Structure 1
Amino acid sequence: MFTARSFRHAALLAAGLTAAMGAFAAGKVVSTQYGDVTVNSDAKRVVTLYEGALDISYALDVKPIGAITTRGSDGVSNYLGDRAKGIKIVGTTREINLEAVAAQRPDLILASPRLNPEQYKILSKIAPTIVPKSKPHQFPSWTDDTRLFGKALNKSQEAEAIIAKIHDREADIKKVVEAKIPQDKRNVSLIRWMPQGAMVMSTKIFSTEVLANTGFKVNDGGVVKKGSPHSSALSLENLSSIDSEWVFLATMNLEGQKSLDAAKKSPAFERLSVVKKDHVIPVDGQVWTSGSGPLAAMVILDNIQKTLDTKVSYPE
């Protein structure tokens, strides 16, 4: 989303950069949502317009010069830590600042699968723009995106290695889950707690794929519509749909945490069996309900491992 004024300004900036695009002619060809794109094999100035693209870049030891903010924040996700120090913000998940992108003079742009044709037309004049074919935040998009962006960044071997590393760790944790938790006790839900109430996350998003790969049975309570990443906000009276054996509960910001603290004092929340069992696991919403990519997967796996180490009391 962008204004007509920003469109015109970005178009002018893009026009000034178009002449330099001939340098990319000798690069590699990458297949994208908008067709084949020729990319310089040694791109140095990378801008990411997708949270997953930023994660993947860092995982492949590439440091982008620009990125969009994460949801519920004025910067990138906290889990990325010092990696993102000094990065320029060029928009949000809802609105890309095309002028800010052009001002970075990128030689490669890694974009979201949701990038529309009008935006793509402008961005592709600024620099080769890679748009994944996969649907955002739905598995197996993170592995597809890692391979796609890895190829664009000339890091295909490294991309395959990190995908394998994550799958190996998922398999190791799954062995522990199957050894320690009875099959009928592996039911789990992922909840995003917002000021207006709890939203049940789909079983078809990035984090729930990782969770399922570790041996848990992810449940959405039947309240998530097909194709939607989450349910509508539930009232306190309708919380029974999230009453799984386990609940990973994510908050995006301070307001969500305050709302959760208030809900915990309500009889409706206290009656949930998952609360009585102390199986509600607080997690970072920027990772679990907004992020994607290898580094986010590692954080999720760390959280699952810690849960097994501290919460599982079933007999060996």
Structure 2
Amino acid sequence: MTSLRHLCMATAGIAALSATLPANAKSLETAFGTVEIDDDPTRVVTLYTNALDTALTAGVAPLGAVATRGGDGVARYLSEQAGDIEIVGTPRETNIEAVAALKPDVILASPRLPEAQYDLLSHIAPTVVPDVEPYHMDSWENEARVYGKALGRSDVIDDAIAEVNAKAETLSEHQNDSPSASLIRWMPQGALVMAPQIFSNTLLSKSGFAVDDGGTVKEGRPHSDPLSLENLSRIDNDWLFLSTLNAEGDEAYEAAKQSPAFERLDVVQRDHVVTVDGQLWTSATGPMAAKAILDDIASAMDAAQ
């Protein structure tokens, strides 16, 4: 990756690639002010999973994207639809020069994009940063609507969101009560309990679960500090959705299953531990991700009947 200092020195060269105002432009309100975008952009670069997910949902094939957390390509659930897409960075660091080389019409970025990065990217092409607060029930929907408008595909995205909410409501109607549930990401150093406000947990809530972090997640954080096996009793709920990101996490979970502390959990005894894809459940967001997560929830509920 190119350092930020190097990139700042290269800004003058990158600025030469700045897009001129298109003849058929629309205005979009973003976190960094009003942005003018082509009505029908064709050269799209996405720097955030929801942006890539939304673009693919809308039928747009982006030229570039960042790798998913825990991998070197896009998330597995998107790999087929994304095809041979150019990887232009990671969730933590974007390769600005790689983005510039793709000569995009528009760049779709994360709501948490630093302003210094925005300043560089906006010299390349109109850069859309949704003005959306993270970790709210409808955060992902509001982000997707901004990206849909930027792509000129609002109707498609509105329909996709409506489909997700209808499916979640159907799942909720089939719950006899509100079973408690936790979502954890298993890491070599221990289990991370995911906050109730993250994307996948909001879908669990909409599907009729009472998401419980056992008081382990500090306010404003996406997950807890690693828990010891003994402290897993704090999230010994009706259901446990358990994810891993990579082979190291898989191995750590396999080792944990041999522990008496893990085996003593009531949720383990009831066989209500559901293993899920960590890239999807703890790193993804967007309409396609929502549908895939709801499919996982539906499968778990069907298996329990």
TM-score normalised to structure 1 length: 0.93
Contact kept in structure 2, 1:239 and 1:269, CA below 8 Å? yes
Q: What is the deviation of 1:13?
A: 3.9
Aligned residues: 304
1:29-55 deviation line (CA, Å, top 9, x unaligned): 001000110100010010001111111
Q: What is the deviation of 1:239?
A: 1.1
The aligned runs of 1:1-316 (5 Å cut-off) are 2-9=3-10, 11-18=11-18, 20-22=19-21, 24=22, 26-136=24-134, 138-178=136-176, 182-183=177-178, 186-312=179-305
Gaps of 5+ in 2: none
Q: For residues 68 and 151 of structure 2, what CA distance do their matches in structure 1 show?
A: 22
Q: For residues 139 and 130 of structure 1, what CA distance do their matches in structure 2 show?
A: 22
Q: What is the deviation of 1:118?
A: 1.2
Contact kept in structure 2, 1:27 and 1:38, CA below 8 Å? yes
| Cα RMSD for the two superposed structures | 1.3
Q: Quick one: which amino acid aligns to residue 266 of structure 1?
A: S
For 1:139, what is the secondary structure of its paired residue? coil
Label 1:97 to 1:2 Cα distance change in 2 as closer, same or farther (>3 A).
same
Q: What is the deviation of 1:237?
A: 1.6
Q: For residues 2 and 216 of structure 1, what CA distance do their matches in structure 2 show?
A: 44
Q: For residues 25 and 282 of structure 1, what CA distance do their matches in structure 2 show?
A: 50
Q: What is the deviation of 1:307?
A: 0.5
Label 1:85 to 1:304 Cα distance change in 2 as closer, same or farther (>3 A).
same
Q: What is the deviation of 1:284?
A: 0.5
Q: For residues 235 and 21 of structure 1, what CA distance do their matches in structure 2 show?
A: 55
Q: For residues 182 and 207 of structure 2, what CA distance do their matches in structure 1 show?
A: 14
Gaps of 5+ in 1: none
Q: For residues 7 and 172 of structure 1, what CA distance do their matches in structure 2 show?
A: 51
Q: For residues 220 and 188 of structure 1, what CA distance do their matches in structure 2 show?
A: 8
1:271-295 deviation line (CA, Å, top 9, x unaligned): 1000000000000111111100000
Label 1:232 to 1:248 Cα distance change in 2 as closer, same or farther (>3 A).
same
Q: What is the deviation of 1:251?
A: 0.4
Q: For residues 143 and 263 of structure 2, what CA distance do their matches in structure 1 show?
A: 41
Q: Quick one: which amino acid aligns to residue 122 of structure 1?
A: L
1:110-163 deviation line (CA, Å, top 9, x unaligned): 001111111111111100000011134543111101110110000111111111
Q: For residues 99 and 139 of structure 1, what CA distance do their matches in structure 2 show?
A: 35
Contact kept in structure 2, 1:7 and 1:98, CA below 8 Å? no
Contact kept in structure 2, 1:13 and 1:99, CA below 8 Å? no
Contact kept in structure 2, 1:193 and 1:199, CA below 8 Å? yes
Contact kept in structure 2, 1:207 and 1:300, CA below 8 Å? yes
Q: Quick one: which amino acid aligns to residue 134 of structure 1?
A: V
Q: What is the deviation of 1:25?
A: 5.4
Moved more, 117-126 or 101-110: 117-126
Q: What is the deviation of 1:6?
A: 2.9
